[in-house]
Amino acid sequence: MYFWLILGLITLIIAGEFLVRGAVGIAKRFHISTLVIGMTIISFGTSAPELLVCLDAAMSGHPEIAIGNVVGSNIANIALVLGVTVLILPIVVDRNSKRIDWPMMMLATALFAIFAWDGEIQRYEGIILFVILAVFTYWLIRNSRKKTKKQLAAAAIESEEDEDDDIAKIKDKPAISVVFLLIGLVGLFFGAGWLVHGAIDIATHFGMEERIIAVTVVAFGTSVPELITSGVAALRGETDISIGNLIGSNLFNIMAVIGLTAMVHPIGVSDAIIASDMWWMIAIAVGLLPLMVIGRKIGRFKGTLLLGTYIAYIAILVISIINGGDADTTAINSPID
């Protein structure tokens, strides 16, 4: 059981490195900012496991699984993953993250809450979410390319000496960047699955209750791809990828995962989700804005606040389950299965 845990962790770390290298190479080759790459290709890739799980749940007659998966993942992405990332390296937030990306994430969150309020997300609501995401993604990439080309036309291209040697070698070879990107995405997919399987086996071996495993080990496993990718990006100094990955993942989770799943089958939303978890997700998303605008960067103190918020959320959730105040957890499944 320890073998799968260690193998999964090693695979995730290596995959995260490949993913960041490939993404930065593509960004430089096609004149797209690393922030936009983080919000699109990387965030979509790290959220792909959730999409596969939710679509499978919808087709097997259990679409409500998608709601808990998305709400829990969005809470973890901001409170846990961003918290840990800025503890590794503080992030100077790009202006576009404040003016465009965060408002878009809040729009998605608000629509999600409104659509879920009546206890079910309908097919037409799923279509609305997915179409908005497609239009926003197209605009984001198109705008980034235009802006970058203007900058290159207005001034000389930066000296090669200022670039990372490895990235400089691959930026003019898009095929290599794509290969790196694909290796990273595949590695994240399998690595997360192995990590979660190993963690569940260990937790079960030591007598942890299944419900506790579901809201701790499995919930953490769902956000491991984002955690590893953002951590690697922070260590490489590509902080735009870190913040873009997390905001983009939250967008993708709501507008693509929920959108596509609802298009397959209307999604039932439990009263417990609406009364508790949904409010946690909204509050954490709203709370991200002052952390972005107050001060020059999101530093380690703010990271500690975020991490403490996630720990408080998990503690309250676990206590409610122990006291029998939460809804049923019928099965423990890897979020990557």
Which residue, among 177, 185, 229, has the nearest Cα to 45 in the 3D structure? 185
Instruction: For 233-286, write each residue's pLDDT tens digit.
Output: 777 776 666 677 788 888 888 998 899 888 888 888 878 788 888 999 999 999
Cβ 37 vs Cβ 27: under 8 Å: yes
Rounded CA-CA distance 55/212 in Å is 25
Instruction: For 78-118, write each residue's pLDDT tens digit.
Output: 999 899 888 888 888 878 778 888 999 999 999 999 999 99
Query: Given the DSSP bridges, would you call strands 120-121 and 267-268 parallel, antiparallel or unpaired?
Result: antiparallel
What does pLDDT average to over the chain?
75
The pLDDT, as a whole number, for residue 161 is 47
Length of the chain: 337
Mean per-residue pLDDT for 145-158? 56
Instruction: For 19-69, write each residue's pLDDT tens digit.
Output: 667 766 776 676 666 667 666 666 666 666 666 656 665 666 655 666 777
Cβ 23 vs Cβ 42: under 8 Å: yes
15: Cα within 13 Å, side-chain hemisphere: 26
**DSSP H or E stretch at residue 120:** strand 120-121
CATH number of 2-155+164-316: 1.20.1420.30
Cβ 180 vs Cβ 45: under 8 Å: no
The pLDDT, as a whole number, for residue 27 is 67
- Check the CA dihedral 323-275-115-310 and report its sign: negative
Q: Which residue in this structure is represented by tokens 């990273």?
A: 184
pTM of the full structure: 0.71
103: Cα within 13 Å, side-chain hemisphere: 6
Rounded CA-CA distance 273/291 in Å is 26
Domain edges within the chain: 2-155+164-316
